[in-house]
Every structure is written in structure tokens, then in C-alpha cells.
Structure 1
Amino acid sequence: MEFNYDVIVIGAGHAGCEAAAASARLGSRTCLITMDMNKIAQMSCNPAVGGIAKGQIVREIDALGGWTGIVTDRTSIQFRLLNRSKGPAMWSPRAQCDRNKYIWAWREVLENMPNLHIWQDTVRRLLVKDGEVCGVETVWGVTFHARCVILTAGTFLNGLMHIGHVMLPGGRMAEPASYELTESIVQHGITCGRMKTGTPVRIDGRSVHYEDMEAQDGENDFHRFSFLNTDTRPLRQLPCWSCFTNEAAHEILRRGLPDSPLFNGQIQSIGPRYCPSIETKIVTFPDKPQHQLFLEPEGESTQEYYLNGFSSSLPMDIQIEALKQIPAFRDIVVYRPGYAIEYDYFDPTQLKHTLETKKIKNLFFAGQVNGTTGYEEAAGQGIVAGINAHINCHGGTPFTLGRDEAYIGVLIDDLVTKGVDEPYRMFTSRAEYRILLRMDDADMRLTERSWKLGLATEERYALLVSKREAIGRILEFTRAYSVKPALINQALEQMGTTPLRQGCKLADLINRPQITLKGIAEHIPAFQRELDRLTDRKEETIEAAEILLKYEGYITRERMIADKLARLEAIKIKGRFDYNSLQSLSTEARQKLTKIDPETIAQASRIPGVSPSDINVLLLLCGR
């Protein structure tokens, strides 16, 4: 049996869902192939979305017209805005979701999307002709012909799970691995490697002594992931809980180290540095008497809980015995132990910034197959791959994001330029322009670009225009309105800030850290009337305007720096030089530049091993 499509997406994880949705909504006939339709957008690890920098990525996906933010808001059982004590560049939304409702919300989106079909099967072979992908073949013997293929297979490529000395093939617990597909790709010159990740024990909440834990409640203000959502959260909001390990638990964990796949040589691949297993923590930090754990609900009505901070591949008896030494878990009952999983990934320096492979035309990689970790990083890659697959099918300018435009742009540029030597996780520290990449203005940065592509809807674009105009009115008012000392000094003293000696513009007054737009408006009737004109997303608009006022100097300075460096982005060098023949470059630079073949001088400057003197040589050769 044979089928014909514009775009085939292999794998229905977070990258695959966003990729399929993007290409279909743009008008490409798309087929999403998944092993199990009941596991679409499965949250293999913690059923949580967002966090430091990850939350910003989800806001960017939403601003582009993606669905992760919308589905998260629909299925959230706890929401928090992290880093509130820091500046707005660091604010990061995070939500705990109902695992099963998240899956079904995504499935409802995809099943009802025009141009998108879903096929339940396993892809075993990539079809390539004359260096160009032309389709896939499944284990059921079905052939799908396509103009573009997007691989988003997650941890399923030759997946192998570990619990102590027990090794089981699989892509996730109780789910089969995918075989033959990696081999059908590498035969075309694409290199692969192995990585490792893990997941913690799942606990029956009825066995937990919550009186020995500290509750962590969520927040219920106006913040959401999606710029479209203003409704109240539909699901019951639940607390998370925290406690600590202790020396008694550590002693048992140490006893199990000889049987740990991470330390006895059973696992050879690289694991995530920033999400270490509990056994790695006690080895890396031998003097630390305790490590914090977070008990987080898996759903609105289930008793299943996720123990964040206790990822492990130790034998299951060691895991359970160690947990019983912690007072809150002294009577613990588990649903399943933690385990580690090894899987294939492909060196992302073999990709273009569109996420198309350099070796095989019209083949795209997105998600963990590129060496990343996290739902958000995967989804961000997925929407970019989906957009560019559609463009490759129907024509248009390749869609890429700069490092000053989006965290997604930072993520993809890091992958393509630097590669990975461990599972890549996004942090705010990876971005040079954090004050430009705030969570509050992702729509301002990206929605117009997406609307011009045809992905963002008219409704979304209209909301952007309305918000931009409202912010503009607030900024204009505060910069024009003069405040007199006699009218405001008493209020300033109540706010704990120095009274005025002479009049000033309202914008200058708002720069003071003690003053907020809403707080000062209570004492300036004309300004209060201006804010009362806001009827749509009032709180969001006021927050965005206040950030622009308070951080105007920082934003302007960072924009100037970004614009200066953008000049290097404009100097194209791809295919221009035979780097091996340029003896004025260092040996390492010649090797790295030949391997990656950067698009621009700016990208070349970010390649590890390419020094400033090497960049100067290239600039001279370019006549700059």
C-alpha cells in the first residue's frame, strides 16, 4: 500500500506535534506517523511545561501560532511564575499538567486539523533518491511518498532501558524501541551517537506522609502560557510538595553503586549534566548531607505522583529502600521504579538553521534526535522544522530565528554551530540578549513574522495590534504628563520613596523601584482614566508597558549591541572559501570551519575553536 503527502512527520512527541500542526496549518498535506495514538505528546518524564528559559520558549512557540501553550493552559493543575524576585528578563512561567488530559487535548487538536492525517505504525526505513528524501517505509510494509520528511523520534531510536543490571529494549517504559531507521539514515553519510536520560520513581500518593513535607501552592493571577487565553483555569489546582533526602538514604544509595549502570560500565553514553540522577548527586557532592526532592501530582484525579530530584537507574530494591529512610516516604508504595534509557541521536552540526540536514535534501531533524533534552526545546525545534518543510514543498524564503529574536533562535544556533557533547538544555545564561527575549514580549517579537507566513491567525494578529496600540498610549501618556510635587508627595512618602523637589514627567517617576503603574494611577485621576480604557488583557498590557518604561535604558543598549553584531550576520561566507587551503587560519579553525561550513561571519565567530584572529582573517578576505 502506498500514500502520497507533502510532509511526513515521524514521531508524535512534542516536536512532532508542533511540526505536523505547523506544516498542515500552512497548507501542506501532512501525515503524522506514531507508534501509539494514545501516547501523542506523551510527557515521558515530569508532566510539567516551562521553567527557567523553557517557559520563554513556550511563549515564543505560542507567539508563532503553535499549540503547546494553549494545550498547557487547558490542562494545567498548577501554575507558577518563577524568578519573580529578579528582573523581567528572568521571569519564567511553569505549569504542572494533568498527564492524560494533556495527551487527549493535543490529540483533539491534531485529529481536527485540516490537511493533517495520523497513521499508527513504526517507520523502519528512510527512502532517499539522488541525495533527496522521497518517503518512508513502515514495519507494516506501507510506503509513504513525500516531498519532505521530519524526524522527531525522541528516545526511540534503538532505545535501551536500564534498571540495575536489567536491560530492556524500549523507547519508554512498556513501549517498543524503533529499529533499522538509524541505520537507514547513517548509510547516507549522516553520523550518529548515543545519549542517555532517565526518569524517577512514580509514587502512590496514598502512601505519603504529607505532614512531613512542605506544601508548595501555585499562583492564580493573570499570567498564562498562551497570549490567546484569558479564561480561568479549567482544572482543579493542586499543590506540590517538597522534602529532603538524608544520610541514611545516601548510605543505602552508596551501597547500590556497584550495581548502578552509570558507574559499573553498563552505560557508556552521555547523560544530562543539569538533571543528574540521585546516584550521580551523592558521588559528585559527597559532603552534601541532603538533596531537595519535589513531589508533584501527575493529574487532577490520579494518585500517581512524580518524585522530581530522584531520577535513578539503581536496582529497584535499592531505590525503594533508600526512599523509606525519608520520613515522608517511610510507608512508600510505588507504581514503578526510576530507570535510565539510552538512545541514538544525530550530530546537529550536520543541520542548517532551518533544521534541514546538509547531507539529505528535504530531510529535517527536530527534538531529542538533535541531542537536546526537554519538551520545550523539542517543541521549539518542531515548529521551525514544520514551517521550513512547508516552505521547501511550496516555495518561499527559509524561516530562521536570530539569537536576538528568540530563545528558539539561540537554541538552534547553538546546536548547528557548536554541536553537543551532552544533552542540551536551555538556560537564560545561554542567551546574550536576555532583556530582549523576555516572556512578556514574545508576541511583539514573533507574531507579525508568523502572521506574514500564514501560520498565526487573524485573531492572534488583531490581539497583537490591539496590545501594541494600548502600550503605545500608556507610554505616550507617561512621557507627556507632568507630575507636580504638591499633588503627589504625600503618596510618594506612603510608598516609601523620596518626595519630589520639583515637577517631573510621570515616566521618570515610574522608573523608581517602589512605584508601579497601577499603584501611582490611584493618585493621578487622569492616568487612572487612561488605564481604565483598557478592556482587553488589561493586566498583561500594563505589565508590558511598565517593563518597557523601567528597563528602557537596558533594552536600548542591548538592542544597539545586537544591531552591531547583526552586521556580521549580513556577511555571507557559506561556500565561499576552501578553508583547508587558508594557511593563515589556525589548524583547529580550518577543521571546524570545513566541518560546519557556516552561513555567516557571525556564525563562524561562535564556533568553538575559531579565534578572533581567525575571524579577522576571514573579514580581510571578504574585503571588510
Structure 2
Amino acid sequence: MENNYKYKAGSYDVVVVGAGHAGCEAGLATARLGLKTLVLTTSMEAVADMPCNPNIGGTGKGHIVREIDALGGQMALNIDKTFIQSRMLNTSKGPAVHSLRVQADKRKYHEEMKKTLENQENLDLFEQEVDKINYEDGKIVSCETVQGAIYETKAIIIATGTYLNGKILIGEYEKTSGPHGLQAATYLSACLEEMGFKLRRFKTGTPARVDRKSINYEKTEVQRGDEEVIPFSFLNEGEDFSDRKQENCYLTYTTKETKDIIMDNLDRSPIYGGHIKGVGPRYCPSIEDKMVRFPDRDIHQVFIEPESLSTDEMYIQGVSSSLPQDVQMDFYKTIIGLEDVKIMRPAYAIEYDMIDTRRLYRTLESRDYEGLYFAGQINGSSGYEEAGGQGLIAGINAALKIKGEDPLILDRSDAYIGVLIDDLVTKGTEEPYRMMTSRCEYRLTMRQDNADQRLTERAYKIGLVSEERYQKMLAKRANIDGEIERLKSVVLTPKEDINAKLIDLGSTPLKNAMSLYDLIKRPELTYEALGVFDKERPSLPKFQQIEVQSEIKYEGYIRKQMADIDKFKKLEKQKLPKDFDYYKVKGLKKESAEKLNDIKPESIGQASRISGVSPADINVLMIRLKTGELDG
């Protein structure tokens, strides 16, 4: 029912709409930068909720968490407080793709983040649904809630996640709802459309939660956490987590019978029955999608993961579904180890609204409305980490704009967050966007272990990182640089005992004198293993050891990548005018001019990444830029 009664409820510098992972980071950033901030949520239970997989990190995503931390965000600190299993992935591969993935106690994660918001100076948290955004001359002035409250503000950050016009689907059953039954945001979509935003429907899904007591673990493979826990936050480097009890996860598989039941009931899936209009994530498909996409495969991996220490619910990763509840009851019992399983919450799909992100600047501010920012799944991304990174950048830039300072823009050579945002605003996305290491051109220089070296100084300069933290980063950098130089001075000679130890390490004997620095470059040797020759080495924390090794072992590749980055930066520095009609540029193809007019790239570099704009078009732009034909 519409509420016609309106009243002025207060004035804030920034209003954040939504309190998921994007909203939390946005609100904390603006408040910590000294701005009076209001965070509105449809439900207090939605604050930093984990409606899908109860973990943080993973391949590519772990890099983003480290970058959030390096920039003064909260996600890494919160997961370090609340993890129940920790594993470093891809350790058999190079350091560029090493990624930390930790299982969260989802209830504690929510509670700790909510407590952080509640205790944050300059921040108010309130349960209200926003239904209208008000603006004057293209500039944001206030927002209104369904209860009639009007909040005057200088900036609004929309971070509605999967709640915006959310709809849950389980077979023939449909319900307007946010994740797991929480209230959806049902009014704001109409306002955004009236403002000219093009909305699309995306979809995601989640599997059933089952009773841990009904699982036959003897039929599964145990997945234990790492003995040595490496924390997510750089502030926790060197902390001892050995007393933290870790929970096990379990690996199992679907069966041919699982496939038969799903395929026999495919017509009852809203995905294939035509009831779901939204586009789902390519890299996290439902179990019915897997059966259709890979018809020759009879079995698929399934991971069973604990949701929290305070519940018996277990998350069945890899088996999200929108099939009817009765079909779910049948096919889950065909998974090895789940023959007698008891489902506590059925799997479901959820549809929600998102915007065309090509109408945003890289600050995540709208091109059409000054002071209006968007972050998280409303921008077409998937994942808590991608949302958190966007929320932090939106919050920082909203605060900097209000304070009259230059924006913080991370480019593709700065951070995974920069790659994420550049992809979204330059190319848009036709499906829920997931960060992967393969999307990053400069991943060897943008490792998870050096995120603080890349970003903390920038956060310090804008006031989001303390002096103490900044000095800690500088001391770490000095340690690493000092150790690299010291290793160059420690020289081994081809003596019998030295060569015998090298052979024991699987390496070839020395023929000439060689420094430890050069020995580390051998693929089979590591910084740690060479400790047998280096009795005087200083005691460095594990993270610093990894960074020393990476910088030495991949020195040549890093040097080459830095040269590529220099070329990239030159194109990024060639700025294009904000409001220019590219139809006027002679030599540009019509379709290229159309795309350039639509996206309005900030630089030659960004223009070169627009799909359909060719190298020949870029050459035309560069020539016209030099001759001054693009001015005005």
C-alpha cells in the first residue's frame, strides 16, 4: 500500500541503500572518512548476510579481499575473526594465482559486521526500504522510504544486491522475496526506470541446506584446513591462529541416478519451463544447467560445507537448483553419502534487477546523476568479494567528491578491483560477472601477497588507513628489499658438502660460485629450502618470505610486465573529452562512433577496450587528439 504521508527524517552527507557486503564497505568508508552516513536495509538480518556459499575468497576473489584490506576496508578483518576453515588454493602453481579461501561461520560473520557498523562513529544503521530518489538539475538531493521518511543527502550509494525486485522460484512456486525469505526491495526499480536506467533481470541460485547428522561421511573424502593459517588481513600478519579449531569440509559426487531424475523432471524447472527470465552465472551453474551443458558426464563434484558452528545446517556446494521440492527430495538422496539426508532448507533460484553499468564512471558514479553511485550485484557482478570491492570504491569516491578532493580510480594495472570495475563500466556484462585471475593482464605484479605494497599508501593519503598501519607497510617493504639485497651477497661455492645438499633438494650441483639470490631462480628451489645454506638469515614472517621469493624467482617476467604496464599507462593518460560527439570524427566507423558516444570513455586506453572499437579506430582517435580536433 502506498504511503502518501511524508516527513523530513534527517540530513546526512551520504545515504547507503542496502547493507550487504557492498553496502557495509561503502558505509564504513564514508563514515571513517568523516562523513555523516546513514545505512538503510530492508532487514537487519540482511547485514553482511551470506545467502549463498558461506565462504570468503577463492581464485581471483581472494586477491580482491586482500585489496579491500589494503585500502582500509573491513571484509578481511571480519573473516579473520569468524573463519572456521582456511585453505590456500593453487599452491602447486605460480604465486600469481595463489588464492586464500576460507570457510566462514556465516552467523558470526553477520553478527561481527553488524556490530562493527553499530559501533562506527558517524554511522547510523536503520531498517527502512527506499522507494524514491529525488534530484534537482541532475544532482541528488534526497531519498524517501516506503514509510514516508525523507532523508536529505549529498550522495546516495545503491547497493541492493539480489533484493531489488527479488523473486524466489522453486519449481512451480514463486514468491516476491529477497534471499531465504527476507523482505525484497519492491519499489525502487520503478523509480530507477523513471530516471532512465535500463534494468535487466539476472539470476542466481543456492543449494539445499541439509542436516549434518544425516550425512554418511565415510562415503566422502575429507577436506581439511591448512595446518599453518595465513590470515586475510595484513594487520594480522604474524598472528598465531593455531588454537582456532577448524571444521572439515567433504568432497563427494553426484551419480547417474542423480542425472536421470533431474533430466526426467527438467520440464518442471522454471529455468527450462520459461518462468525464469533472468540470466544466470556461467561459472556457478545450477545442477540442471550442468546436466544440460555436459550431457556426456554422468557425475559431478559436490562439496559439503558447514554453515556455522551454531547450526547443524550443511551447504551442498555445486548442487544449486530451482527444481520442485519433491524432485529435490529425490535427487539429493542419490548423491554419494546423502542417501539418508534430511533437507532443512530447499534449494531455490532468485531473480533480481540490475542496471547497465556502461552508464557509470570508473568512480561508480552515474554519468547522468551527480552524487548517485552503484555498487555490488546491482552492477551485474556476482560474489561477496566483488560486491565488497565495489562498495569500498563507491564509498571512497562519494566521500572524496563531497570533500572536494580528487577521486580514487584504480586502473587495470593497479588492482583486481580496477579490472573488475573497468570491465563493468567499459564492456558491461551479459551475465553475472565473476572475477578470475585470467581476466587480469598484469597478474604477476598484482599478486595477493603484495596488495598492501600496491594500495595502502593511496588509502593512507586519503585518510582511510592509519599512520601506524602505513608505517607497518613501509617497514615490511624495507624488510623485503633488505632481504633481497642480502641474498645477493650470500655466495655459495662448489664444495662437496654444498653440492650434496643441492642434490638432496633435487637440484644440480654448482660448477661455479653462485649467490642464494640466483639459486632461488631455479624452478625446483625455494627460499625456505635454501635455509640450510643460510644460517644467518633473519626471521621473516611467512608472507614476507613468499614475497621475497616471488620477486626473485619471477624477476625477468615482472620486469617485462612492468614495461607493458608503462605502455598501458601512456594510453590511460591520453584523456578524451567528457562530452564529445564522436559522429563528428572523420574516419571512424559509424558503429564505433555509436559505441563511443554511448560509453564516453575517459581515455584512449579505455576506448581501446570497448567491444567493437578496432585498432584502426583507436589510431584515428589518437591522430585527432594530437591535432586538437577532439577539443570541445
Tell me, yes or no, whether TM beats 0.5: yes
- Identify the range of structure 1 (142-151 vs 575-584) with the bigger mean alpha-carbon deviation: 575-584
Identify the residue that residue 630 of structure 2 maps to in structure 1.
none
Identify the residue that residue 176 of structure 1 maps to in structure 2.
183
Whichever residue aligns with residue 32 of structure 1, its letter is V
Structure 1 residue 222: Cα displacement = 4.4
Identify the residue that residue 232 of structure 1 maps to in structure 2.
240
1:296-333 per-residue CA deviation (whole Å, 9 max, x = no partner) reads: 00012421000000010000111110111224111110
SS at match of 2:537: helix
Task: Judge conservation of contact 2:46–2:182 (CA < 8 Å) in 1.
Answer: no
Task: Judge conservation of contact 1:54–1:426 (CA < 8 Å) in 2.
Answer: yes
User: Partners in 1 of 2:336 and 2:381 — Cα distance?
Assistant: 36
Whichever residue aligns with residue 28 of structure 2, its letter is A
Identify the residue that residue 22 of structure 2 maps to in structure 1.
15
Structure 2 gap ranges (5+): 1-7, 628-632
1:255 equivalenced with 2:258 (yes/no): no
Task: Judge conservation of contact 2:360–2:366 (CA < 8 Å) in 1.
Answer: yes
Please report the TM-score for the alignment, with normalisation by the length of structure 1. Answer: 0.97
SS at match of 2:277: coil
RMSD of aligned alpha carbons: 1.3
Whichever residue aligns with residue 347 of structure 1, its letter is D
Give 2:608's match in structure 1, choosing from 602, 605, 609: 605
Task: Judge conservation of contact 1:249–1:323 (CA < 8 Å) in 2.
Answer: yes
1:219 equivalenced with 2:229 (yes/no): no
Following superposition of structure 1 onto structure 2, how do residues 399-410 of structure 1 map, counting pairs within 5 Å?
Answer: 399-410=408-419
Give 2:39's match in structure 1, choosing from 12, 15, 32: 32
Structure 1 residue 357: Cα displacement = 0.3
User: Partners in 2 of 1:326 and 1:430 — Cα distance?
Assistant: 34
Identify the residue that residue 4 of structure 2 maps to in structure 1.
none
SS at match of 2:319: strand
1:65 equivalenced with 2:75 (yes/no): no
Give 1:303's match in structure 2, choosing from 312, 315, 319: 312
User: Partners in 2 of 1:438 and 1:403 — Cα distance?
Assistant: 13
1:402-429 per-residue CA deviation (whole Å, 9 max, x = no partner) reads: 1011000000000000001111111111
User: Partners in 2 of 1:516 and 1:310 — Cα distance?
Assistant: 39
Whichever residue aligns with residue 403 of structure 1, its letter is R
User: Partners in 2 of 1:247 and 1:530 — Cα distance?
Assistant: 56
Give 1:509's match in structure 2, choosing from 493, 516, 519: 519
Identify the residue that residue 92 of structure 1 maps to in structure 2.
99
Task: Judge conservation of contact 2:12–2:154 (CA < 8 Å) in 1.
Answer: yes
Structure 1 residue 480: Cα displacement = 2.6
Identify the residue that residue 494 of structure 1 maps to in structure 2.
504
Whichever residue aligns with residue 564 of structure 1, its letter is K
1:202 equivalenced with 2:205 (yes/no): no
Give 1:432's match in structure 2, choosing from 428, 438, 441: 441
Corresponding pairs, count: 617
Following superposition of structure 1 onto structure 2, how do residues 439-588 of structure 1 map, counting pairs within 5 Å?
Answer: 439-486=448-495, 488-525=498-535, 529-532=536-539, 534=540, 538-575=541-578, 577-588=580-591
Whichever residue aligns with residue 485 of structure 1, its letter is P
Structure 1 residue 157: Cα displacement = 1.2
User: Partners in 1 of 2:499 and 2:215 — Cα distance?
Assistant: 55
Whichever residue aligns with residue 312 of structure 2, its letter is Q
Identify the residue that residue 331 of structure 2 maps to in structure 1.
322
Identify the residue that residue 286 of structure 2 maps to in structure 1.
277
Identify the residue that residue 138 of structure 2 maps to in structure 1.
131
How many percent of aligned residue pairs carry the same amino acid?
45
User: Partners in 2 of 1:24 and 1:60 — Cα distance?
Assistant: 19
User: Partners in 1 of 2:46 and 2:358 — Cα distance?
Assistant: 30
1:128-177 per-residue CA deviation (whole Å, 9 max, x = no partner) reads: 12111112111121111110000000111111110001110011122121
User: Partners in 1 of 2:561 and 2:210 — Cα distance?
Assistant: 46
Structure 1 residue 482: Cα displacement = 2.4
Structure 1 residue 235: Cα displacement = 4.5
Structure 1 residue 11: Cα displacement = 0.4
1:419-441 per-residue CA deviation (whole Å, 9 max, x = no partner) reads: 01111111111111110110110
Structure 1 gap ranges (5+): none
Task: Judge conservation of contact 1:188–1:359 (CA < 8 Å) in 2.
Answer: no
1:292 equivalenced with 2:297 (yes/no): no
Task: Judge conservation of contact 1:42–1:103 (CA < 8 Å) in 2.
Answer: yes
Following superposition of structure 1 onto structure 2, how do residues 40-79 of structure 1 map, counting pairs within 5 Å?
Answer: 40-79=47-86
User: Partners in 2 of 1:104 and 1:403 — Cα distance?
Assistant: 34
Task: Judge conservation of contact 1:188–1:360 (CA < 8 Å) in 2.
Answer: no
SS at match of 2:270: coil
Task: Judge conservation of contact 1:222–1:540 (CA < 8 Å) in 2.
Answer: no
SS at match of 1:413: helix
SS at match of 2:281: coil
User: Partners in 2 of 1:368 and 1:357 — Cα distance?
Assistant: 16
Whichever residue aligns with residue 43 of structure 1, its letter is M
SS at match of 2:204: strand
Task: Judge conservation of contact 1:75–1:235 (CA < 8 Å) in 2.
Answer: no
Task: Judge conservation of contact 2:202–2:351 (CA < 8 Å) in 1.
Answer: yes
In structure 2, relative to structure 1, the CA distance for the partners of 1:4 and 1:577 (3 Å cut) is closer
Structure 1 residue 68: Cα displacement = 0.3
1:341 equivalenced with 2:344 (yes/no): no
- Identify the range of structure 1 (486-495 vs 443-452) with the bigger mean alpha-carbon deviation: 486-495
Task: Judge conservation of contact 1:5–1:30 (CA < 8 Å) in 2.
Answer: yes
Structure 1 residue 38: Cα displacement = 3.0
1:110 equivalenced with 2:110 (yes/no): no
Structure 1 residue 232: Cα displacement = 3.5
Structure 1 residue 583: Cα displacement = 4.5
SS at match of 1:146: strand
Whichever residue aligns with residue 201 of structure 2, its letter is R
SS at match of 1:177: coil
Task: Judge conservation of contact 1:584–1:617 (CA < 8 Å) in 2.
Answer: yes
User: Partners in 1 of 2:84 and 2:240 — Cα distance?
Assistant: 12
Structure 1 residue 485: Cα displacement = 1.6
- Identify the range of structure 1 (498-507 vs 571-580) with the bigger mean alpha-carbon deviation: 571-580
User: Partners in 1 of 2:201 and 2:579 — Cα distance?
Assistant: 33
Please report the TM-score for the alignment, with normalisation by the length of structure 2. Answer: 0.96
Task: Judge conservation of contact 1:78–1:239 (CA < 8 Å) in 2.
Answer: yes
Whichever residue aligns with residue 525 of structure 2, its letter is I
In structure 2, relative to structure 1, the CA distance for the partners of 1:413 and 1:327 (3 Å cut) is closer
Task: Judge conservation of contact 2:197–2:355 (CA < 8 Å) in 1.
Answer: yes
Whichever residue aligns with residue 448 of structure 1, its letter is E
- Identify the range of structure 1 (213-222 vs 371-380) with the bigger mean alpha-carbon deviation: 213-222
